[in-house]
């Protein structure tokens, strides 16, 4: 009977964790951002500013940056979406004409691909239908805004007064493991701060390169896509390609050749920054092998979606620190010879 109750309790606990996994990830990401913000807070404290006042200044600066980025990006992003929707019929017709022209050079392929004068008209309604469900996202948008308010509230509380949370964390550990737990937390915090610095550095490089290239190629909204590219490295190996999709689609309005060049630019820049530059910077700041970061990113993305991909690298830092302190440094039990 006891075994049945234990199994039932385990099932209920797992079901509950599954239902609240988004809240857990948001809490973890709030703690990660708070740890990253602790670096400038401690810098101000070393300059003689009281800690609570320093935390308040950092929080105000953090929100000011978010508001500034939103003011620069959101109106232009909405304008680019409207431009794409308006140009969609012309874009589909142009792509259809290009496809017909290309297939006329290869008669054998015409037997496999049926293209006629009505194909552009057939494709256009299907493409336009992509944008007809925008109104259905109103409730989802309200839910997102509610989650954002809750998330930023948690973040502010952690940044302004982190000591109660740290005391609760240490008190939750057995007495014999508190030193190891404190060391693991400090190692994790150092790695998270390194992750934030590396992501900011690589993101700045990617944003500058994207802005210059898209401006030279006359792709509409170069500043918008450069701002989005800045945040791509926060999702290693995946974020760069996700952020590349909108400008590639929009560059089709300038012609298929322009879209090809834009796709090639994102491929080369993502591979250079993602495979060469970013691993070296992270290796110096986080002490994590790139394979570990990539594995955690893919695993968390498959398990928890976009939010999981964002928190994957900090989660890898925490996992490595706690594995090192609680497993690699555990005392060896010597067995006597029988």
- In 3D, which of 271, 277, 323 has the Cα closest to residue 296? 323
DSSP 144-183: HHHHHHHHHHHHHHHHH--HHHHHHHHHTS-GGGHHHHHH
Residue 278's φ and ψ, nearest 5 degrees, are -60, -45
Q: Provide the token pair at 106.
A: 């290869």
What per-residue confidence (pLDDT) applies to 125?
47
Q: What is the mean pLDDT of residues 258-267?
A: 89
Q: How far is CA 207 from the centre of its chain?
A: 15
Q: What is the mean pLDDT of residues 130-157?
A: 68
What per-residue confidence (pLDDT) applies to 147?
79
pLDDT tens-digit profile of 60-101? 999 998 888 888 777 777 776 676 667 667 766 766 676 667
What per-residue confidence (pLDDT) applies to 337?
46
What per-residue confidence (pLDDT) applies to 269?
85
333 pLDDT band, cuts 50/70/90, is very low
270 pLDDT band, cuts 50/70/90, is confident
Q: Under a CB-based contact definition with an 8 Å cutoff, are residues 189 and 38 in contact?
A: yes
What per-residue confidence (pLDDT) applies to 44?
92
Q: Under a CB-based contact definition with an 8 Å cutoff, are residues 281 and 198 in contact?
A: yes
**Which of 40-49, 153-162, 242-251, 275-284 is the least confident region?**
275-284
Q: What is the DSSP letter of 115?
A: -
What per-residue confidence (pLDDT) applies to 126?
47
Q: How far is CA 297 from the centre of its chain?
A: 10
Contacts 24+ apart (CB under 8 A), 164-173: 165/31
Neighbours of 191 (CB within 10 A): 23
What per-residue confidence (pLDDT) applies to 133?
46
Q: What is the mean pLDDT of residues 277-303?
A: 78
- In 3D, which of 206, 201, 188 has the Cα closest to residue 286? 188
pLDDT over 70 (residue 233)? yes
Q: What is the mean pLDDT of residues 288-315?
A: 84
DSSP 13-70: HHHHHHHTHHHHHHHHHHHHHHHHHHHHHHHHHHTT--HHHHHHHHHHHHHHHHHHHH
338 pLDDT band, cuts 50/70/90, is very low
d(CA 53, CA 316): 32
228 pLDDT band, cuts 50/70/90, is confident
b/e sequence 195-215, b meaning 16+ C-beta within 10 Å = bbbbbbbbbebbbebbbebbe
pLDDT tens-digit profile of 186-206? 999 998 988 888 888 888 888
d(CA 216, CA 251): 12
């Amino acid at each position: 009977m006891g075994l049945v109750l234990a199994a039932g309790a385990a099932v209920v606990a797992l079901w509950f964790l599954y239902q609240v996994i988004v809240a857990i990830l948001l809490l973890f990401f709030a703690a990660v951002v708070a740890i990253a913000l602790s670096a400038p807070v401690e810098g101000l404290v070393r300059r003689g500013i009281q800690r609570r006042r320093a935390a308040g200044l950092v929080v105000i600066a953090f929100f000011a940056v978010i508001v500034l980025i939103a003011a620069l990006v959101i109106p232009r992003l909405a304008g680019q979406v409207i431009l794409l929707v308006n140009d969609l019929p012309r874009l589909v017709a142009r792509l259809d004409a290009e496809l017909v022209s290309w297939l006329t050079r290869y008669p054998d392929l015409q037997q496999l691909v049926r293209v006629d004068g009505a194909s552009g008209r057939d494709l256009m309604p299907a493409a336009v239908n992509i944008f007809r469900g925008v109104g259905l996202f109103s409730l989802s948008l309200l839910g997102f805004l509610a989650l954002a308010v809750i998330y930023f509230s948690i973040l502010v509380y952690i940044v302004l007064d982190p000591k109660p949370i740290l005391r609760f964390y240490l008190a939750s550990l057995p007495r014999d493991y508190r030193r190891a737990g404190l060391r693991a937390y400090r190692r994790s915090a150092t790695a998270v701060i390194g992750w934030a610095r590396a992501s900011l550095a690589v993101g700045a490089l990617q944003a500058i390169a994207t802005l210059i290239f898209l401006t030279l190629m006359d792709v509409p909204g170069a500043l918008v896509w450069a701002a989005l590219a800045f945040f791509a490295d926060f999702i290693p190996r995946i974020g760069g390609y996700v952020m590349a999709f909108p400008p590639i689609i929009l560059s089709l309005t300038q012609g298929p050749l322009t879209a090809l060049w834009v796709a090639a630019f994102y491929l080369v820049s993502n591979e250079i920054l993602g495979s060469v530059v970013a691993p070296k910077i992270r290796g110096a700041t986080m002490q994590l092998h790139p394979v570990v970061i990539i594995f955690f990113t893919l695993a968390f993305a498959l398990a928890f979606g976009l939010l999981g991909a964002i928190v994957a690298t900090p989660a890898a830092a925490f996992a490595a620190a706690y594995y090192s302190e609680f497993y690699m440094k555990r005392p060896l039990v010597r067995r006597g010879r029988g």
